[in-house]
Amino acid sequence: MKKIHLIGMIMIGIAIYLITTAGTEVATYANFESARQTDQPVKIVGTLVKDKAIVYDEMKDPNYLSFYMVDDNGEERKVILGKGKPNDFELSESIVLTGKMKGDDFFASEMLLKCPSKYTDEEIQLKSQEG
Amino acid sequence: MNEIQYIGEHLLPGQIGRLTIVLGFVASFLAAVAYFFAEQKKETAEAHGWLKIGRWSYIIHGLSVFVTIGCMFFVMYHRMYEYQYAQAHVSDDLEMRYILSAFWEGQEGSFLLWMFWHVILGWILIRVSKSWEAPVMAPLALIQFFIGSMILGVYIGELKIGANPLLLLRDVMDLPVFAQADYAALLNGNGLNPLLQNYWMTIHPPTLFLGFASTAVPFCFAIAGLWTGRHRDMLQVSFPWALFSASILGIGILMGGAWAYEALTFGGYWAWDPVENASLVPWLILVAGIHTHLVAKTTGYSIKSTYLFYLLTFFFIIYSTFLTRSGILGDTSVHAFTEMGLENQLLIFTLFFLIFPLTVFFLKGKTIPVIAKEEATGSKEFWMFIGALVLLFSAGLITASTSLPVYNKIRELFDPAFEGFVIQDQVAHHNKYQLWIGVFVGLLSGGTQYLRFKEPNFSNHTKKFLTHLGIAGIISLGLTFLMGQWIQVRAWQYQLLLFTGIFSVITNLDYLVSFAKGNLKLAGSIISHVGFGLMIVGILASGLNKEFISTDPFTQRGLLNDEMLKENVILFKNRPANMNGYQITYKQDTLVDRLRHYDINFKKLTKNGQVAEDFTVRPTAQFDNQLTKVAAYNPDTQHYLDKDIFTLIRTLPLKEADVNERKRLEDSLNFRIIEFPIGAIGSFTDSLQTEDSLFISTFDVTIEELIRNASHPDYDPKPKDIAMGLKMKIQERGKPEVYDATPVILLRNNLVFAYPIQINDLAIKIKLPSEFLNKIFETEIELDFKKFLMQKGQSINYNGYQITLDNIDLVDPLSQNTTNKNYFAQKGDVAARAKISVRKNGLPVPQVVEPIFLIRGNQPFPINDKLISEGLHFQFSNINRETGKMTINIAQTDTDVNYPIEIATNSLRTDYIVFSAIIFPGINFLWTGTIMMMLGLAFSWIRRRQELYRSK
């Protein structure tokens, strides 16, 4: 057997090993229920509850945002994010959070927003009729 | 049914463009077929005919692409919103310098940009590749055929083939406005996404797409080489093309990273986003291919793998197109294109460029010469091949992770209930594996340089090899230790990576001196490998020691998890804040076009109190196209040789960030009107009920002066404006601070505008109501003038005042040298001025008044002046030429006019920003290193090209 083949096989072996052990880094999206079961940070998808309080008072603490989110199971929880409030937060269609449950609240360290793409919407702008 | 006869539409450019899209598509197909037969029948008499057809077809194809692009620019430049693409990407208020960005913002435009480069590269190939023309151009024309189908916009039954960029809006949408015959004039465009209105969007896409397009050339040469069996010759002629491609694609990716770092808000240059990965993977495979290519050219080994690498490179370009344009990435990426409904077509496109090259390879691969004897373990070719495998391995790992959404999609096809997987922490995941790739590449790119091609007898070379390797290793260890002190590397894995990065730099420098002896032939490789080492150092330094300046110790209240970093602080205007050794002051802000610039000063003091660093950054808030709302916050970076300080506004006060919010908040303010005379002290109280107590505060207001031609930060004076201001002082009773305020009211073209003043520290807002203007004009209209005829030098008595006409002269309209603030000079004015001084009880009143008798357009206009402190009004109404007497009218009013002002309390502050500042140490290692990598490739390209021409 050639050395190259040997090295190739070792690499394939490592690749298979890495892919199989990457299982802990790859998971389905969690929900609040499954987040309660684990100490590890999880990713949760949900939507913002728009009629409940969104608290962000930069005068008090520019690194504190709290709001309510509903996960895919329909469970609603208060979320606390240790960062500022992103631009267009209220317009978000869905939210992906990374964090842990603590008590009744979800403490998020990362938040990704999916916003409706404003610039390709069906609404066509007309020039104002006056003048 | 009655067809509407539309008016105001411009149908010609669309008709031409749609025609050339089809023509270009057909011509590319014809070119592919003709070139195919030109090669297949090259021994026959027909070959030349086929070649000519192929060549002309490709030229016509190229011209068609140009005309199509020209038509698109025409409708976009003239803002013909009846065209869907123009409507979607430009608007009336879009500056024309962004038209290129608007052109390639959409999928259709970027496909055309890609085709444009294939046309240019194809024309060059037609000129220079001689016997290679037919076999290389046939696959290139085929590629154009596939991309061209993406903009075709035809239906075969229910199947949509491509999206045509020159369709009319009324053909793709059904809107009520189309019921009007003149709808075209009523439309406005959506314009370009404000995030993309910057120079990066002008230069990054064309570079990246040239990179994409250029990978097609090694691909086509690979197909041609397999097809014709002229492997050796193929290796010669295609080498410069491969180097060119790696260099340009690399620069394109690098620009993407620089854009992310400098202009976007991700706070980094690389986030392992699927879209970023998708263009990195082909580059890695291409670079692997270049290494085996060099081996193949020099030794005859690794020819097969070179073929495979080039074929795979182009496949992964198409695969990345599929990932970014089909919408399959979903929410795993922050910057994929929007969907077009062409997923299936893209899938066919992708699969074709997987199956077609592999088929050619398996059918023709037998003809590739293979050396039976294995590479010697001590030879350069052996270790270079290992290096290429490491790069391929890296590409494979990245692809596997990036393809997770594809895997999910396939699982879903079989099991609709399947829940897709996601990578929990993208950055950590990739870093963990790519760290080892970095270690291997660092060691290999260093050690392999000392080896020799076709090593006849390694034992002779061993001593020299080990000496250099050993010395370089020891120096690198020392430097790693020193560097480790500076950038504080703790984990052993990172220390190892740092070592290999430095090792790569040192060995290559040693190689340049001891072996290459300044030989230019090898310079490209050395520059690139030193660059790689420096890049590794830069990644570690900036990534591991990224440090937030903007952490305020006072906000750490243990409210949140301890591991959460406080990234943001609040900065109040002109109030220095001390954090992490810096004194940071938000000085001022100014609005330029749609950008509000915030001047933020950083000062770092030494222990002796001397200023060590003093600089001002200007991050911006970018408003949307209608100027109603903040669309994005753009960072600003202070560059130093050893570090960057990156600054970004996170949030503005609601009132500043959103016009609608401002209106809502203003409307909810409770203004009350208070009337005061000048000089009087008025006061008002305000109560604030909180959860547990009632606060009552009293404010004292002193009106100081009525100001004509008043100024205000937001007021932009124009001639003929009447801008009145009321200067006042405000103090909260029991507090030492006294605040000045001059709210302004403006009368312009019979419209009244108020410019309020916000006193943030008192949460008070003051404005002048429109009654204020009435009050001033009333007093002037109701003046009861007494008429005096006076000569120069004459004095009269009026109400106990001694009034003297000191002088009469003309006002110079250029310098407008008068104290009368009511006069604004115009061209052709003749303005006579009466200089009048007043004595009260024998003592002079300090102010001089200058009523003006103005002749403008043969009409006389007296312009009054006023002695405010005494309530005396002067009017200069006539000049009698015969007697030399002036008519001066004098009136006195009550000085105690009650001026109304409107005051609201609990007005939210607007004088702050939420701000973030990060130090990236050693980031310049990263930029220097990556730029050197690409320059090295470019250098090799130029040199290899010259070599090729000389050999001919």
* pLDDT at position A124: 62
Q: Which residue range is the domain that position A80 belongs to? A: 28-116
The type of residue at B545 is: N
B546 Cβ contact list (under 8 Å, min separation 6): B918, B919, B920
Q: Quick check: A87 and B631 CB within 8 A?
A: yes
Spatial distance between the Cα atoms of B738 and B733, rounded to a whole number of angstroms: 10
Residue B377 to residue A29, Cβ atoms within 8 A: no
- Whether A3 is covered by a domain: the verdict is no
Distance to chain B for A25, nearest Cα, Å: 5
Count Cβ atoms below 10 Å from residue B788 Cβ, excluding itself: 17
Domain locations along chain B: 1-192, 196-366+377-417, 424-543, 553-659+911-921, 661-776, 779-897
B119 within 8 A of B131, measured Cβ to Cβ? no
Q: What is the DSSP letter of B205?
A: H
Q: Do B632 and A87 touch (CB under 8 A)?
A: yes
∠ CA(B168), CA(B173), CA(B178), 5° rounding?
Answer: 75
Closest CA to B192 of B70, B82, B99: B99
What would the two tokens of residue B243 be? Answer: 């180097």
Find residue B755's DSSP bridge partners.
B744
Beta bridge partners of B859: B856
Alpha-carbon gap, residue B352 to B346, rounded angstroms: 10
Residue A20 domain-assigned (yes or no): no
For residue A112, tell me if it sits in a domain: yes
Tell me how close the Cα of A47 comes to any Cα of chain B, in angstroms: 14
The whole-number pLDDT of residue B421 equals 83
Distances (CA, A) of B942 to B125, B240, B287, B798: 17, 7, 17, 94
In-domain check, residue A77: yes
C-alpha angle B200-B205-B211 in degrees, rounded to nearest 5: 125
How many separate domains does chain A show? 1
Could you give the 3-state DSSP secondary structure of residue B570? Answer: strand
User: How would CATH label the architecture of B779-897?
Assistant: Sandwich (2.60)
The answer, for B840 touching chain A at a CB cutoff of 8 Å, is no
Alpha-carbon distance B645 to B869, whole Å? 55
B333 — contact with chain A (CB < 8 Å)? no
Q: What is the pLDDT of residues A45-61, one digit of tens each?
A: 888 998 888 888 887 78
Q: What gap in Å lies between CA B79 and CA B93, rounded to an integer?
A: 10
B174 vs A: CB within 8 A: no
ipTM of the prediction: 0.84
CB of B579 within 8 Å of a chain A CB? The answer is no
Does the beta-carbon distance from A58 to B393 stay under 8 Å?
A: no
Which tokens go with B296?
Answer: 């193949």
Q: Which residues of B touch A64 (CB under 8 A)?
A: 559-560
Closest CA to B872 of B838, B821, B831, B844: B838
Angstrom distance (rounded) from CA A126 to CA B188: 5
Q: Is residue A8 part of a domain?
A: no
| CATH number, domain with residue A37 | 2.40.50.140
Cα angle B2-B5-B10, degrees, rounded to a multiple of 5: 150
How many residues are listed for chain B in this entry? 952
Report pLDDT for B723: 85
Is B898:B677 a contact under the CB 8 Å cutoff? yes
| pLDDT lower than 70: segments of chain B | 1-2, 264-267, 331-340, 552-565, 688-695, 778-781, 821, 895-896, 952
Sheet containing strand B764-767, strands side by side: B671-676, B899-904, B764-767, B757-759
Chain A residues near residue B397 by CB distance under 8 angstroms: 15, 18
Find the CB nearest A64 among B190, B397, B559. B559
In a domain, A44, yes or no: yes
In this structure, chain A runs to a length of: 131
pLDDT category at A118 given cuts 50, 70, 90 is: very low
The predicted model gives A11-37 an average pLDDT of 81
DSSP conformation class of B596: E
Cβ-nearest to A62 among B560, B564, B568? B568
A70 belongs to a structural domain: yes
Q: Residue B452: what pLDDT?
A: 87
From chain B, pick out residues whose CB is under 8 angstroms from the CB of A7: 386, 389
Q: Which residue has the tokens 């120096």?
A: B475
Answer yes or no: is A127 within a domain.
no
Whole-angstrom CA distances from A124 to B190, B304, B659 are 7, 55, 22
What distance in Å separates the CA atoms of residue B755 and residue B767, rounded to the nearest whole number? 7
Q: What is the pLDDT of residue B333?
A: 67
- Cβ neighbourhood burial of B285 (10 Å; 0-12, 13-18, 19+): buried
| pLDDT attached to residue B422 | 82
Q: Are strands B885-892 and B786-790 parallel, antiparallel or unpaired?
A: antiparallel
**Predicted local distance difference test score (pLDDT) of residue B952:** 67
